[in-house]
Amino acid sequence: MQYKKAMESIKINVMQKLLKANDAIADEIRKSLKSKGIFFVNLMSSPGSGKTTLIEETVKKLGKKIKVIEGDIQTTLDAERLQKLGVQAYQINTGPFGGDCHLEAAWIKTAITELGTDGMDLLFVENIGNLVCPAEFDVGAHLNVLLISVTEGEDKPLKYPLAFQVSKLCVITKTDLLPLKHFSLKKLRENIKKINPACAVIEVSAHAGTGLESWLEILKNRPGF
Amino acid sequence: MQYKKAMESIKINVMQKLLKANDAIADEIRKSLKSKGIFFVNLMSSPGSGKTTLIEETVKKLGKKIKVIEGDIQTTLDAERLQKLGVQAYQINTGPFGGDCHLEAAWIKTAITELGTDGMDLLFVENIGNLVCPAEFDVGAHLNVLLISVTEGEDKPLKYPLAFQVSKLCVITKTDLLPLKHFSLKKLRENIKKINPACAVIEVSAHAGTGLESWLEILKNRPGF
């Protein structure tokens, strides 16, 4: 038990140093992209909440000045989906590095260098599908967005508060499934407000094509830029 | 960069020692519960895939010889849901310990001591909703079960392989939503088999009340016990 406690304290010590280094790089990214007129949006959610689909719909409406950094443990499936639409996408796989459950600012910095900033006015990071770890690492975005689908349940803001606290916008997805689900949209909105009263909330359904105007309007207004 | 590399190597070093200590405790739990005739099942999934609901339905069918350990970052919502059905539930909140994204064997050992093993023949652990981290930590279960709902997409086994590799059973949930979704059950089953050919796969819908017989049959057969 003594041994375990000592190990835990080393782990926490290292983690704090890593987070500090991460935050410095994140700030550098945020400033550098702003100076080039590039708005940087970080999308976080559980697996399968519709991050890639939302980016696809955005690309279809706003065209090709968008670049995307995809985070996944394994596969290049999401980057391939986006490349089909003609946008430049860079895939980060954390699998070879122990299957990390989040993205870090240093990797984003490298990815931006690889992608190049020419001809870009909007950068998306699609973070690893996970409601816990990505919220702990600032990737340098101007806007953190949390997606939650109506099939995930109303209680998620209470159970994963940090992800909702670090996000300025919450996008409720798959609202086309609402008629079928035992789910209260009102309750979910109340729980989001309880955890983060300043969080804006919009509803979209990519399949039904509803709610996208609000999303595009927000991207135009560039909150946090 | 040198500094970061050194820090990373310390992190990995510590992590390996922690995992080794964890595995020893997990083995001890597995043996101890077996000697008492208690079958231990660990449920893993994304947030909102239906773990608590599956346990609720199981309790309704199999009665009160079940005890449950609930893992969440915050809240006792799930333990409260189960206590309403008259089963003993123990809530682990990782929030005060840095919001850990997984459960460890040492915490399970403590929770089992607190719950007591008298009058129990089946123990569920509902792991933290996350497809990444819980798969890395053996909690001492005889059977690891992975739940995935039909709204999460067919590609998840390819993107989160470890969670599917460590599980002997995959439960596809919310199949009542199938008629509405742009989703191929066939493709999901193919992807599971690609990642883990030995994994059994069943389909359930708690809301429609279908597929539960197969689940109960598996619990009766006690694979891995």
User: For B55-66, what is the mean pLDDT?
Assistant: 93
**pLDDT band, residue A105 (cuts 50/70/90):** very high
Indicate whether A51 pLDDT > 80: yes
Give the pLDDT confidence score for residue A179 in this predicted structure: 78
The token pair at A158 is 């209470």
**pLDDT band, residue B19 (cuts 50/70/90):** confident
Picking from B21, B132, B149, the nearest residue to A151 by CB comes out as: B149
> CB–CB of B158/A77 below 8 Å?
yes
Q: Which residue would you say has higher pLDDT here, A30 or A64? A: A30
Q: What does the pLDDT look like over B82-121, one tens digit per residue? A: 999 999 999 999 877 677 889 999 999 999 999 999 999 9
Q: What does the pLDDT look like over A30-49, one tens digit per residue? A: 999 999 999 999 999 999 99
Give the pLDDT confidence score for residue A46 in this predicted structure: 95
Residue type, B102: H
Nearest residue on chain A to B162, alpha-carbon basis: A99
> CB–CB of B219/B39 below 8 Å?
yes
> CB–CB of B222/B39 below 8 Å?
yes
Q: What does the pLDDT look like over A165-180, one tens digit per residue? A: 999 999 999 999 887 7
Give, to the nearest 10 degrees, the angle between helix A105-115 and helix A2-35.
Answer: 30
Indicate whether A3 pLDDT > 60: no
Length reported for chain B:
225
Q: What does the pLDDT look like over B164-208, one tens digit per residue? A: 999 999 999 999 888 776 789 999 999 999 999 999 999 999 989
The token pair at B9 is 């190597």
Tell me whether residues B47 and A17 touch, CB distance under 8 A: no
Indicate whether A11 pLDDT > 60: no
| Chain B stretch 48-107, residues whose beta carbon is closer than 8 A to a beta carbon of chain A | 48, 72-75, 77, 98-99, 101, 106
Q: Does A209 touch chain B (CB under 8 A)?
A: no
Tell me whether residues B160 and A101 touch, CB distance under 8 A: no
The token pair at B72 is 């969440």
Give the pLDDT confidence score for residue A1 in this predicted structure: 36
Alpha-carbon distance B148 to B155, whole Å?
11
Indicate whether A5 pLDDT > 80: no
Length reported for chain A:
225
Picking from B7, B98, B161, the nearest residue to A74 by CB comes out as: B161
- Chain B closest-CA separation from residue A221 CA (Å): 31
- For residue A96, how far is the Cα from the chain centroid? 21
Exposed (0-12), middle (13-18) or buried (19+): which is A191, by Cβ within 10 Å? buried
Picking from B3, B73, B158, the nearest residue to A74 by CB comes out as: B158
Indicate whether A4 pLDDT > 70: no
Is 0.85 exceeded by the ipTM? no
**pLDDT band, residue A2 (cuts 50/70/90):** very low
User: For A129-141, what is the mean pLDDT?
Assistant: 93
Q: What is the 3-state secondary structure (H, E, C) of A69-82?
A: EEEECCCCHHHHHH
> CB–CB of A162/A135 below 8 Å?
yes
Alpha-carbon distance A28 to A191, whole Å?
33
Q: Does A3 touch chain B (CB under 8 A)?
A: yes
User: For A22-32, what is the mean pLDDT?
Assistant: 96
Alpha-carbon distance A187 to B145, whole Å?
30
**pLDDT band, residue B3 (cuts 50/70/90):** very low
Picking from B7, B73, B156, the nearest residue to A160 by CB comes out as: B73
**This prediction's pTM:** 0.83
Q: Does B210 touch chain A (CB under 8 A)?
A: no
Q: What does the pLDDT look like over B126-154, one tens digit per residue? A: 999 999 999 999 999 999 999 999 999 99
Indicate whether A190 pLDDT > 70: yes
